[in-house]
Amino acid sequence: MKKPLIALMPLWDKEKNSYWMLPGYMDLIIKSGGVPVMLSFSDDEQSIEEIADRFDGFVFTGGDDIAPARYGAEKIEQCGEECVQRDSLEFALFKEVIKTDKPILGICRGMQFLNAALGGTLYQDLPTQKPGEVCHKQSAPFDALTHRVTVEKDTLLYDIVGTATLMVNTLHHQAVDKIAPCLVPCAKAEDDLVEAVYAPEKAFLLGVQWHPEMIFNHEENSIKIGKAFVKACAK
């Protein structure tokens, strides 16, 4: 039986004018039984259609902030740097992939992207727009587990991890604000910030705000997420 072919959204290095990828994303998919492939920034219509058709699953990775105009907002001063080419690729590809009902996993920016692409909005900067007692942008080491999330029962995430609480790492200054109509929150931090979402009507569409690709070697629930995603891609 062939291993599922998984498309990963590329990261961008502006200074070097180059694509790049954190190995953890690749390693998580490989250890979970899939074959990861990093995409380019092409948003050519035919290429997008072929990518949506040929790949078995899609990982929307972390990275730069999403352009606020993409979710109908004015950009505030504290919003971070955008990558226009990446936004263009991801929104075009998501439009095709969502039609196929193929599995989708969003991580950090990827979760925020899913929410924005499906009609939700984002906090552009948590310290400015939603300050709280939980630190959501930890210092190194980035694989340290720094805060707790509560997992809602009877959700996709609970079915995967089988526990009501998780300790996670956290590396973000943006987050989900208004949740998209078709998404349901399935985990929250102690300050009530949404930490995971899923689409009940889809075969597998899950977004998590933390970085399982950085902690799966010592946090068993993270590899459970990877394996559940790849298993869904193999169907």
Supply the pLDDT for residue 154. 97
Lowest mean per-residue pLDDT among 25-34, 76-85, 196-205, 215-224: 76-85
The residue range of the domain holding 190 is 5-233
Which backbone phi and psi does 20 adopt, to 5 degrees? -160, 170
The count of structural domains within the chain is: 1
Residues 123, 4: Cα–Cα separation, whole Å: 34
Residue 45 has pLDDT above 90, yes or no: yes
Q: pLDDT class for 91, splitting at 50, 70, 90?
A: very high
- Strand ranges (DSSP E) for 14-139? 18-20, 35-38, 57-60, 104-107, 122-123
Supply the pLDDT for residue 135. 86
Helices 109-117 and 84-100: angle between axes, nearest 10 degrees: 60
Q: What is the pLDDT of residues 105-127, one digit of tens each?
A: 999 999 999 999 999 999 999 99
Supply the pLDDT for residue 133. 84
CATH number of the structural domain spanning residue 63: 3.40.50.880
Q: pTM of this prediction?
A: 0.97
| Bridge partner list, 176 | 122
Name the DSSP class of 72.
T
Please state whether beta strands 11-13 and 18-20 pair in parallel, antiparallel, or not at all (unpaired): antiparallel
Residues identified as active-site: 108, 211, 213
Supply the pLDDT for residue 129. 95
Supply the pLDDT for residue 14. 85
Q: Where on the phi/psi map is residue 229: left (φ > 0), alpha (ψ -120 to 50), or beta?
A: alpha
Neighbours of 13 (CB within 10 A): 9
**Per-chain mean pLDDT for the chain:** 96
Which backbone phi and psi does 104 adopt, to 5 degrees? -135, 135
Q: Which long-range contacts (CB under 8 A, 24 or more apart) does 69-75 make?
A: 70/116, 70/117, 71/116, 71/120, 71/121, 71/122, 72/121, 73/121, 73/122, 73/124, 75/124
